[in-house]
Structure 1
Amino acid sequence: MKFHLTVDNWTVQKTDARAVRFDVFVIEQKIPVELEWDDMDELCIHAVAYNEAGQAIGTGRLLPDGHIGRMAVRSTGRGQGIGAAILQALMAQARQRGDTEVVLNAQTQAEAFYGRYGFSRDGEEYYEAGIAHICMRHVFA
């Protein structure tokens, strides 16, 4: 699948990022909607991936403190490098602004995915919204 990626602020990315997150987290993973939205979106850098038809198929955000979060790819786009492109774009943004590391809270089933991009487990497994997570960290060389 061909896709393209945009990186911008919440004002620009809000509609498409929200749609992807709602489909993946609220509908598919059954995370309560009130847990999905927070006040941090307006402070973050957001990446959104679009398919050839211009439909948003993936998203993620970079918080001011170097956390990467809300990584989501719609089921039709999984396994095609979209999540990797989003992750790498957000890591590049962090490095460009001078962050020395990035941290994320991964669902445990995604640990191997993040490991391929230099993230290592940092701490014990915990549960958030009923889903097992682990903290992972990547220090820039």
Structure 2
Amino acid sequence: MIQNAFRIIDADYARDIAKLRAVREPVFVLEQQVPLALEWDALDPECRHVLALDANERPIGTGRLTPMRTIGRMAVLAEWRGKGVGDGLLHHLIGLAQAAGWPSVSLHAQVEAIGFYLKHGFMAEGDIYNEAGIPHQTMTLDLTSHGN
């Protein structure tokens, strides 16, 4: 088996909620101290979710596309960071947005992650603001020219 092997799949919110929780709650609620009530929102059932699974089918990362054409809830378990999981999740979500015909997609990047998103072609917009007590920056990717 290849060490650090993982795959990205489209998830079904109702079917895969336990797997989504297994990533989002350790990352956002435990590590980053986001209140549980803020982590899970009314948008979740309306979103397209993706999961990164390790070679044993355990969830190691997640993200979502919202109906407002945003990427959100990008999270990778600590032991998997720096191993390409975030890149894989982001590429998959961008592909879904392109397949849907969206002209652009935006996100609220934690300030610490701005460089990650810049590397993928996102551009920063506006001022830094607090969201759930964490500094964020709005970023947008033009999908009409991305990947061309």
Shorter-chain TM-score tier: over 0.9
Of residues 16, 20, 23 in structure 1, which corresponds to 2:19? 16
Q: In structure 2, the residue corresponding to 1:123 is in which secondary structure?
A: strand
Post-superposition offset of 1:9: 3.0
Q: Give the root-mean-square deviation of aligned CA atoms.
A: 0.9
The residue aligned with 2:63 is: 60
Q: In structure 2, the residue corresponding to 1:64 is in which secondary structure?
A: coil
The residue aligned with 2:50 is: 47
Unaligned 5+ segments in structure 2 are none
Identity %: 40
Alignment of 1:35 with 2:38, yes or no, is yes
The residue aligned with 1:96 is: 99
Measure, in 2, the Cα distance between the counterparts of 1:106 and 1:41.
18
Q: Which string of whole-angstrom CA distances, capped at 9 and with x for unpartnered residues, describes residues 27-60 of structure 1? A: 1111111110101111111110011122100000
Q: Which amino acid aligns with 2:73?
A: R
Measure, in 2, the Cα distance between the counterparts of 1:135 and 1:68.
11
Of residues 78, 87, 90 in structure 1, which corresponds to 2:90? 87
Misfit runs of 4+, over 2 Å: none
Post-superposition offset of 1:109: 0.4
The residue aligned with 2:127 is: 124
Calculate the TM-score normalised by the size of structure 1: 0.97
Indicate conservation of the 8 Å contact 1:104/1:137, yes or no. yes
More displaced stretch, 3-12 vs 102-111 = 3-12
Alignment of 1:5 with 2:12, yes or no, is no
Paired positions, count:
141
Q: Which amino acid aligns with 2:26?
A: D
Q: In structure 2, the residue corresponding to 1:125 is in which secondary structure?
A: strand
Indicate conservation of the 8 Å contact 1:60/1:71, yes or no. yes
The residue aligned with 1:74 is: 77
Unaligned 5+ segments in structure 1 are none
Calculate the TM-score normalised by the size of structure 2: 0.92
Measure, in 1, the Cα distance between the counterparts of 2:99 and 2:107.
18
